[in-house]
Amino acid sequence: MVNSSHIIRELTRYMSDHRSEIDILLPLFDSLKEHVQAGRCPHRDGCPSVKAGAVVVDERGQALFFWTGTGWGFPEVPPHRSDSTLGFTALRAVMEQTGIFDVWPVEGVEHPLVIDVDSAGPHDGPAAVKFGFRYVYRTDSAFLAPVMGRLGVEWRPVSEIQSPRLRHRVLNSIHFQRS
Ligand SMILES: [Zn+2]
Distance 179 CA to ligand 1 centre (A): 41
Distance 116 CA to ligand 1 centre (A): 18
Question: What does the domain layout of the chain look like in residue ranges?
Answer: 45-178
Distance 176 CA to ligand 1 centre (A): 36
Cβ atoms of 146 and 52 within 8 Å: the answer is no
pLDDT band at 121 (very low <50, low <70, confident <90, very high): confident
At 179 the pLDDT is: 41
For the chain, the first-to-last Cα distance in angstroms comes to 33
CATH 3.20.10.10 for the 45-178 domain, yes or no: no
pTM of the full predicted structure? 0.91
Distance 95 CA to ligand 1 centre (A): 28
52-99 tens-digit pLDDT: 999 999 998 999 999 988 889 999 999 998 999 999 999 999 988 888
Distance 3 CA to ligand 1 centre (A): 11
Per-residue burial over 41-73, b if 16 or more Cβ lie within 10 Å, else e, is: eeeeeebbbbbbbbbbbbeeebbbbbeeeeebb
